[in-house]
Amino acid sequence: MEKISTVCFLIVILPFWAVAQEDVTVKGKVIDRATMAPIPVVRISSSFQRVSTNDQGEFTIQAKKGDTLTFVHLSYQTHSIVVSEENSPFQMVQLTERTLEMQEFEVTEMPSEQTFKEAILNTTGKHAMESNMMQRNISTIMIIKDLGYHYDYSSYDMLLKNINPNGGVTLFSNNPSMGIVSVFKRLLGGKPQLSDLSPGPVDRGITRPLWRNPLKSDPVKIE
């Protein structure tokens, strides 16, 4: 019975003992390769844990054989070492400083207060730029609209030509020759200004010039 208990105990203990034999404690120091000065706050990671170096660049970390220790610092290039039996119990790790390339720039003297104020006052705000862009867009739209204009031979155009060459309309008047009655008389008894729609020269004196200001309506005259 005692032999069976001993065998069972060994079966349970042996795996943990084997794992414990593989675990190692790695100690060391991280220094600058050029100056040999210690580097603090270097982040070191293994499969077990993560630690950082102290002010003297020293560290202690738990790992196992075959682990890769990674050393990371913002100002230095990343460095890695593999834990093995050949490693010494104390590691001296040297990191190479990272070189940051910057774009070329020119350093000038501090401007005077007057120059600084003028630069601020002459700065165009975002809202002013948007307003200028809107004005340019409107001008462009008006140019495109005028380029695409053609004479309108509709009944409305004929009405304006028979009433008044200047485009005015008189609705009410004490003069029998004017007003709405006269309008119908002219429409019924007058000659049309355009006998056909064939292409040909157009008389600018009797044609309403919509292209000059197409957005404005004709004035209404009330007497």
* Alpha-helix residue ranges (DSSP H) falling in 78-214: 113-121, 126-147, 155-163, 180-189
Domain co-membership, 135 together with 171: no
pLDDT above 90 (res 69)? yes
Mind listing the pLDDT tens digit for each residue in 83-128? 887 777 788 999 999 887 778 878 878 778 888 888 877 776 667 7
Question: Does residue 159 form part of some domain?
Answer: yes
- Domain count for the chain: 3
Domain co-membership, 156 together with 186: yes
What's the pLDDT at 97? Answer: 92
Domain co-membership, 157 together with 127: no
| Mean pLDDT score across all residues of the chain | 70
Question: Does residue 34 form part of some domain?
Answer: yes
Residue with tokens 């208990």: 5
Report if pTM > 0.85: no
Domain co-membership, 11 together with 90: yes
Mind listing the pLDDT tens digit for each residue in 133-182? 888 888 888 887 767 655 555 555 655 655 555 545 555 555 555 555 56
Domain co-membership, 128 together with 211: no
Residue 67 belongs to a domain with what CATH number?
2.60.40.1120
Closest by alpha carbon to 76, among 50, 39, 36, 46?
39
Domain co-membership, 185 together with 164: yes
DSSP state of 175: S
List the domain range (segments joined by +) for residue 34: 2-95
Rounded to the nearest 10 degrees, the angle between the axes of helix 180-189 and helix 155-163 is 110
The 3-state DSSP class for residue 79 equals strand
Domain co-membership, 88 together with 129: no
